[in-house]
Amino acid sequence: MTKDQKQYRIEFMPANKAGHFSEGITVRDAALELGIIIESDCAGIGSCTKCKVEIKEGANSPTRIEEQLLNSRELTKGVRLACQSSVTMDSLCLIRSNPIADGEKIMTDGLQAQVSLNPDIQKIMLQVAPAKLGEKYFDFEKIVEALKHLGYEIAGYNFQTLKDIPVALRRENYCVTAVIDQERLLAVEPGDTTQILFGVVIDIGTTTVAAKLVNVATGDVVAVNSAANPQAAHGADVVSRLHYIIQHPGGLKRLNSLIIKLINGLIINLADEVGIETSEIYKIVLAGNTVMQHIALNIDPRHLAQKPYTATFQGPARVDAKSLGISINSSGVAYAIPNLACFVGGDITSVLTILDLDKQRHYQLAIDMGTNGEIVLGSRDRLLCCSSPAGPAWEGACITWGMRATYGAIERVEIKNGEVSFRTIGGEPPVGICGSGLIDIVCGFLRAGGIDKSGRILNLAQLTNEYKNGLGDLIIDKVKEGNKLRITGIGGESESAITVSQNDIREIQLAKAAIAAGVKLLLEELEISPDEISSVYLAGAFGNHILAKDVLELGLIPQIAPEKIKFIGNAALSGAEAILKSREARIRAEQISQKIEHMEMADHPRFQDYFVDEMHFSTNDGK
């Protein structure tokens, strides 16, 4: 800020926060400086319109982009795009209800691994022989010797632990508890504290973050928590966030601080729920795609955005949690599950840890349906993986009335005899559509004849007599921006109705075509047909909220027997839990990461052709 640069006060409601900012700062950036996250799927370039705010006082003239994207009624009312509207006077800004803060419905349940409790992180009670006058005696070496006598080798230690040992050893008459993890001595506590040992597992998704608190002494999950990823304010997908880091000095630091702050908040909530101290948590296991893992560890991921798309590390990464700013025990450790490739991360490694693709002779397919689609196909003889840029449509982003799975989101839709029935999260009045609801709508209108195989919403005149009467009130045609499907406000004004546009349908087609093309290329590389796939595992995004027939009708995967499709929820979080609780699971994850082969989709000569082919939906007969 220059000496003469003007400052203006902007107040945000209902957050009830205010601050003084330099002239020209965008409303979105001013909000971020106050810790207010205004949803923005496009990373602030002014294309998604998700960051609408109402300037009650001090609204400036709309920008060219705002004039194009907002209607005249909105502009007159003072509605602006937070990423485009700049502060030029004292202002009062009203923020729309934000799904990041309100009632997010995030999948935390998933396929549970059957693992024996044998964690890397352990507490061992020791009764060390006290020192005697004239004896060659060293406190640290006596503890190491006592551990070795019980079968535990120590290959490293924290320096702070060395400093803490003298007091701990003598406080309870040479009875201490050693905390070890993978042959590293993390801490020495006075007395017997072996029954007080906790760990946290975190699934860092591009859109949502889920966490579990585990009593490592018993293996029980004692608390679960989740939240939206606040990095979404800087882009809905990993590519947008990479561009943010590249284009903004300090961008990595900003995104890292957002995710660490969120992780610490989740840890505090988990600990408070069961009445423990965060100092009783000694280990955190992180699962996430490659970009999310880099950002969480504060490692620059920018080269993932540039050919030849290289990551800084594969992992596993095992670092002091304190060095990351994570608020567990000051001697605690953070373990990042190994990535598989440039955009195939530790989250799918975590999923594979609780499946058996690497053990069975028959072929199996696993897909993590997040913003960054990750796909694995193979058997014990050969495993292939790839990532496919599905985009955030599954999460409701880039969709006209799209929203995350929160209160008021339409999550289930049925179209029958020309009538639409739906269910919203929390039973609240409908305010938008989340991913599962969008899939129901697309598949419902496909079956009802309102959408053709190419994804085109038909005009009323194009409907066959079989469908015309039933869909007459549900299709809005002859409008400037293209045909729409009416979901609410049947028989009322179309302007206030929740609708699905032709562009929304195209976003779903783009998302499903990316995954379908990736699967097709993996099948081709292994020289097998879809019939040879014995099981398909769908993890992530929707959890258990979509139907096998919808997956097939969309053409998301090849046409196979529906009973082969298994929905496994947030299996990445479940896999991270297994890795925390089982040394064998951790070793297996690391072995899988070394065994698996990667196929790059970005420059594959046939990917674009297959992508275009897979844009079409399947018909009811599977053709």
Are residues 529 and 417 part of one domain? no
**What's the pLDDT at 69?**
85
Are residues 317 and 213 part of one domain? yes
Provide the number of structural domains found in the chain.
Answer: 5
Mean pLDDT per segment of 10 residues, for the chain of length 623 residues? 73 85 86 76 70 87 88 88 89 70 50 84 95 90 95 92 93 95 95 96 91 96 90 84 92 95 95 95 96 96 90 94 96 96 92 93 91 90 90 78 83 84 88 88 89 89 64 76 80 69 92 93 95 92 71 91 90 94 96 94 87 83 44
Which of helix, strand or coil describes residue 102?
A: coil
Q: Which CATH number does the domain housing residue 246 bear?
A: 3.30.420.480
**What's the pLDDT at 349?**
95
- CA angle, corner 489, sides to 485 and 491, nearest 5? 90
Half-sphere exposure of 606 (CA within 13 A, CB side): 13
Is 35 within the bounds of a domain?
yes
Cβ proximity of 45 and 56 under 8 Å: no
Are residues 503 and 425 part of one domain? yes
Is 618 within the bounds of a domain?
no
Is 621 within the bounds of a domain?
no
**What's the pLDDT at 495?**
57
**What's the pLDDT at 464?**
64
Q: Residue 43 is part of which domain span?
A: 7-95
Are residues 438 and 450 part of one domain? yes
**What's the pLDDT at 110?**
56
**What's the pLDDT at 544?**
56
Is 143 within the bounds of a domain?
yes
- Would strands 220-228 and 198-204 be described as parallel, antiparallel, or unpaired? unpaired
Non-local (6+) Cβ contacts of 286 within 8 A are: 202, 204, 293, 296, 334, 335, 336, 337, 346, 576
- Would strands 184-190 and 198-204 be described as parallel, antiparallel, or unpaired? unpaired
Tell the burial category of 313 from Cβ atoms under 10 Å away from its Cβ (0-12, 13-18, 19+). middle
The reported pTM is: 0.82
**What's the pLDDT at 208?**
84
Q: Which CATH number does the domain housing residue 385 bear?
A: 3.30.420.40
Are residues 169 and 33 part of one domain? no
